[in-house]
Amino acid sequence: MRTIGIDPGSICAGYGVVDGGGGLTLVAGGIMRMSGDLQRRLCNLANNVDSIIREHEPDLIVVEDVFAGKNPRTALILGQARGAVLVAAGASGRPLLAIAPASAKKVVASHGRADKAQMAAAARVWLRNPPSSWATEDHSDAVCLAIAGQLMEKSAKVKKILGAGVGWL
């Protein structure tokens, strides 16, 4: 099974492509940088996600679910970026899974309050071929989402533990 994890952002978004099977293998990953006004950035984000989906043909697309940010304006813009990702993912017709940040942290790092460094370290443990370094935190976050999608597909126990922190879209 192949999963693509996407960490939405309006200026920089991360993606990670992970194959399952006899262990988890990182196939591709990195960041998508957008510039221009918000409308142009959101359009570019949707187009980039569409290209990644077409290139890697995933069985499952995983995106971070909405969370309440400290700054309402930032949270609104992040929600719009997430919407652009959902449009591209939805247009592909592939299964789409939204995972709350705390749920992804619980699955990948074994506790829901793991910080970014702990998540990146946990991703390296799960992967048979971890990168020597991450392009950005957006990159490692996206790979963690892809890993969480893989693990959740394999384990009904994980689904039971997470409860409302996971949703099929």
Question: Which of the residues are catalytic?
Answer: 7, 64, 138
Phi, psi for residue 55 in degrees, rounded to 5: -70, -40
Q: Residue 77: helix, strand or coil by DSSP?
A: helix
| HSE-CB for 103 with a 13 A CA cutoff | 26
Q: Are 62 and 99 in contact (CB under 8 A)?
A: yes
Cα dihedral 70→116→24→149 (10° resolution): -10
